C-alpha cells in the first residue's frame, strides 16, 4: 500500500549533512569532541549538569538502573502503557518490576502509584508518554516521603515541561532516546542519560565504556554502549531546532483539536504541563477498522502500544490487572504528526477521520 502521509518524518538540513562530512574528514569517530559538546549542550538545555551519550534510549535506562545500583530484590515501579524498553532493563538488572496504571494524561495514575509503593520500592521509572510529563508535584512529594530514586523516561518528551521545568531535570538520572521517530534524532539509534550528580555521572561514563577505570583496567562489569561522533554531530544540529519543532508539533495538535469532530476523544493537556506532542493520540472504539480505513486512504497511523507491558509474555510473572491501561490499549490510535506536516495534509487526515466517525454505527 502506498503511503501519502506518513506517521512521522525527521527533518534533515544541509547543516546536518555538513556536520557529518566534517566528522568524516576529522577521522575522529568515537570518544571525541563532538560528543562532548552534544552532551554538554543537551544536558544544559534540559536543566541538568551532565550528559552521557549512549547507543540507544534503552541503554540509557539500563545504565541508569546500573548506576543507581538497582539489583535483585529491589522493586521498580513503572507504567505498563509504554514501549517495552521502559521496563525490560528492570529485568536485565535482576530487579522486580511492579506495574502502575495510567490516568487520562496517559502518564502514571498517582492514586494507583500510592497503592503500589512499598518498603521494597527502590526506584520509580516515570514515563512522560506521548510528549506530556507526569504530575511531577505528586511524584517529587512521594520521592521526598519514601526516599526512592527516580528515573525519568524522556524518550518521548524532548523539551516538554512541568511548571516551566524541562523533562529530565527532575530525575536522579533521566533517559532520552534519539531514535528517528523522536522529536529530535541522531538519524539512527542513540540516547543520552543526564544527571546533576557528579558521582552518578562518573559511574555512567564508566558503565557505557566497558566499565573502564583505565584503558585496559575494568572494575565494573559492563559492555560497549557508546555513541559515535557522527551521531553526536547530527544530534547537535537537531538540538538547535528542537524548540521550533516542538512549537510546530503544538500548532499541528491545535489544528487537529479544531478540525476533528467533537465525537472524538482527543489528547488532553493537563495543568502546569507543556505537551510537545511526540504523538497525537485519539481514541476509537473500532480502532483497527479506523486504522485500516486510513491506510486505504494512504494515511499512516499506529498504535502506541497495542499490548501493554504487563501483558507481554516476558512479563507474565509480574502481571496484575490495570484497568485504564488495558482499556486504552484497545482504543488508542496515533495520527501523523511531525514538523513538516502541511496544513492541507492535516486537513485531509481530519476529513477522513471525521468521515469514518460519521459513518460509524
Ligand atoms: C517511552 C520509551 N522508552 C524507551 C524507548 C527506547 O528508546 P530506543 O528505541 O532509543 O532504545 C522508547 C523508544 O521507542 C520509548 O518510546
Please tell me the distance between residue 274's alpha carbon and the centre of ligand 1 in angstroms. 20
pTM, entire model: 0.98
Using the predicted structure, report yes or no on whether residue 191 has a pLDDT greater than 80.
Answer: yes
Per-residue pLDDT of 25-65, as tens digits, reads 999 999 999 999 999 999 999 999 999 999 999 999 999 99
Please tell me the distance between residue 58's alpha carbon and the centre of ligand 1 in angstroms. 6
Q: Is the CB of 58 under 6 A from ligand 1?
A: yes
Last-in-domain residue among 239, 267, 293: 239
Range 291-317 average pLDDT:
97
Whether residue 261 lies inside any domain: the answer is: yes
Last-in-domain residue among 205, 220, 239: 239
pLDDT confidence of residue 302? 98
Q: Is the CB of 231 under 6 A from ligand 1?
A: no
Whether residue 1 lies inside any domain: the answer is: no
Whether residue 2 lies inside any domain: the answer is: no
Work out the mean pLDDT of the chain and round it to a whole number: 97
C-alpha span between 298 and 98 (Å, rounded): 40
Taking the CB of residue 183, how many other CB atoms lie within 10 A of it? 29
Please tell me the distance between residue 152's alpha carbon and the centre of ligand 1 in angstroms. 12
CATH code for the domain of 131: 3.40.640.10
- Same structural domain for residues 66 and 193? yes
Q: Is the CB of 186 under 6 A from ligand 1?
A: no
Using the predicted structure, report yes or no on whether residue 319 has a pLDDT greater than 90.
Answer: no
pLDDT confidence of residue 154? 99
Whether residue 233 lies inside any domain: the answer is: yes
Residue 361 confidence class, pLDDT cut points 50, 70, 90: low
Range 97-114 average pLDDT:
98
- Same structural domain for residues 79 and 200? yes
- Same structural domain for residues 280 and 232? no
- Same structural domain for residues 41 and 96? yes
Mutate which of 58, 151, 181, 309 for ligand 1? The one with the most ligand atoms within 8 Å of its CB, which is 58
Q: Identify the domain containing residue 341 by its residue range.
A: 242-359
Pairing of strands 149-153, 121-127: parallel
Pairing of strands 191-195, 173-177: antiparallel
Range 349-361 average pLDDT:
92
Per-residue pLDDT of 218-262, as tens digits, reads 999 999 999 999 999 999 999 999 999 999 999 999 999 999 999
C-alpha span between 124 and 174 (Å, rounded): 11
Specify the residue with its C-alpha closest to ligand 1, atom 12.
Answer: 155
- Same structural domain for residues 294 and 194? no
CATH code for the domain of 351: 3.90.1150.10
- Same structural domain for residues 226 and 260? no
Q: Is the CB of 339 under 6 A from ligand 1?
A: no
- Same structural domain for residues 249 and 232? no
Residue 360 Ramachandran class (φ > 0 left, ψ -120 to 50 alpha, else beta): beta
C-alpha span between 30 and 229 (Å, rounded): 5
Whether residue 3 lies inside any domain: the answer is: no
Whether residue 7 lies inside any domain: the answer is: no
Contacts of 169 (CB under 8 A, 6+ apart): 46, 47, 48, 196
Closest-lying ligand 1 atom to the alpha carbon of residue 189? 10
112 contacts 100 by C-beta, under 8 angstroms? yes
Whether residue 152 lies inside any domain: the answer is: yes
**CA 83, 89, 95, 99: dihedral to nearest 10 degrees?**
-10
**Looking at the 3D structure of the chain, how many domains does it have?**
2
Q: Is the CB of 56 under 6 A from ligand 1?
A: yes
Taking the CB of residue 118, how many other CB atoms lie within 10 A of it? 10
Q: Is the CB of 82 under 6 A from ligand 1?
A: yes
Using the predicted structure, report yes or no on whether residue 304 has a pLDDT greater than 80.
Answer: yes
Per-residue pLDDT of 139-165, as tens digits, reads 999 999 999 999 999 999 999 999 999
Q: Is the CB of 267 under 6 A from ligand 1?
A: no
Collect contacts of 83-86 with beta carbons under 8 A, ≥24 apart. Answer: 83/155, 83/304, 83/305, 84/309, 84/312, 85/56, 85/57, 85/58, 85/61, 85/155, 85/177, 86/61, 86/125, 86/127, 86/153, 86/155, 86/309
Q: Is the CB of 8 under 6 A from ligand 1?
A: no
Whether residue 8 lies inside any domain: the answer is: no
C-alpha radius of gyration, the chain, whole number: 20
- Same structural domain for residues 210 and 65? yes
DSSP summary character for residue 133: -
- Same structural domain for residues 195 and 327? no
pLDDT confidence of residue 343? 98
Using the predicted structure, report yes or no on whether residue 317 has a pLDDT greater than 70.
Answer: yes
Q: Is the CB of 125 under 6 A from ligand 1?
A: no
Last-in-domain residue among 218, 239, 260: 239
Q: Is the CB of 328 under 6 A from ligand 1?
A: no
pLDDT confidence of residue 170? 98
- Pick from 114, 119, 113: which is nearest to 99 by CA? 113
Three cell numbers, residue 244 = 521550533
Range 318-322 average pLDDT:
93
What are the helix (H) ranges across 47-109? 57-67, 88-92
- Same structural domain for residues 182 and 276? no
Closest-lying ligand 1 atom to the alpha carbon of residue 56? 10
Three cell numbers, residue 45 = 538545555
- Same structural domain for residues 190 and 45? yes
- Same structural domain for residues 142 and 114? yes
Q: Is the CB of 238 under 6 A from ligand 1?
A: no
CA end-to-end span of the chain: 27
Amino acid at each position: 500500500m502506498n503511503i501519502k502521509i506518513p506517521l512521522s518524518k525527521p527533518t534533515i538540513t544541509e547543516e546536518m549533512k555538513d556536520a557529518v562530512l566534517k566528522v568524516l574528514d576529522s577521522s575522529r569517530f568515537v570518544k571525541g569532541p563532538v560528543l562532548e559538546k552534544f552532551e554538554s549542550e543537551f544536558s544544559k538545555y534540559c536543566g541538568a549538569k551532565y550528559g552521557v551519550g549512549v547507543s540507544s534510549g534503552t541503554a540509557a535506562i539500563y545504565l541508569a538502573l546500573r548506576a543507581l545500583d538497582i539489583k535483585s530484590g529491589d522493586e521498580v515501579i513503572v507504567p505498563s502503557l509504554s514501549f517495552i524498553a521502559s521496563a525490560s532493563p528492570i529485568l536485565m538488572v535482576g530487579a522486580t518490576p511492579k506495574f502502575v496504571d495510567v490516568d487520562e494524561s496517559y502518564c502514571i495514575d498517582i492514586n494507583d502509584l500510592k497503592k503500589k509503593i512499598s518498603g521494597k520500592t527502590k526506584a520509580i521509572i516515570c514515563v512522560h508518554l506521548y510528549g506530556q510529563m507526569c504530575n511531577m508535584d505528586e511524584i517529587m512529594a512521594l520521592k521526598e516521603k519514601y526516599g526512592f530514586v527516580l528515573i525519568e523516561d524522556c524518550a518521548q518528551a524532548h523539551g516538554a515541561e512541568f511548571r516551566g521545568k524541562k523533562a529530565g531535570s527532575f530525575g536522579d538520572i533521566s533517559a532520552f532516546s534519539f531514535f528517528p521517530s523522536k522529536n529530535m534524532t541522531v538519524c539512527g539509534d542513540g540516547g543520552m542519560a543526564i544527571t546533576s550528580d557528579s558521582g552518578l555521572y562518573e559511574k555512567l561514563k564508566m558503565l557505557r565504556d566497558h566499565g573502564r577505570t583505565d584503558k585496559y583496567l575494568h572494575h565494573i562489569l559492563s559492555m560497549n554502549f557508546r555513541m559515535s561522533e557522527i551521531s553526536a554531530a547530527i544530534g547537535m544540529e537537531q538540538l538547535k531546532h528542537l524548540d521550533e519543532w516542538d512549537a510546530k508539533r503544538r500548532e499541528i495538535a491545535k489544528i487537529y483539536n479544531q478540525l476533528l469532530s467533537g465525537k472524538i476523544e482527543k489528547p488532553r493537556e493537563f495543568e502546569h504541563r507543556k505537551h510537545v506532542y511526540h504523538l497525537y493520540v485519539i481514541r476509537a472504539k473500532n480502532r483497527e477498522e479506523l486504522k485500516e480505513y486510513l491506510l486505504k486512504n494512504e494515511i499512516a497511523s499506529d498504535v502506541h502500544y497495542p499490548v501493554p507491558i504487563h501483558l507481554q509474555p516476558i512479563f507474565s510473572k509480574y502481571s496484575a490487572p490495570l484497568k485504564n491501561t488495558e482499556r486504552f490499549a484497545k482504543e488508542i490510535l496515533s495520527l501523523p504528526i511531525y514538523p513538516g506536516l502541511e496544513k492541507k495534509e492535516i486537513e485531509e487526515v481530519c476529513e477522513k477521520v471525521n468521515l469514518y466517525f460519521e459513518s460509524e454505527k
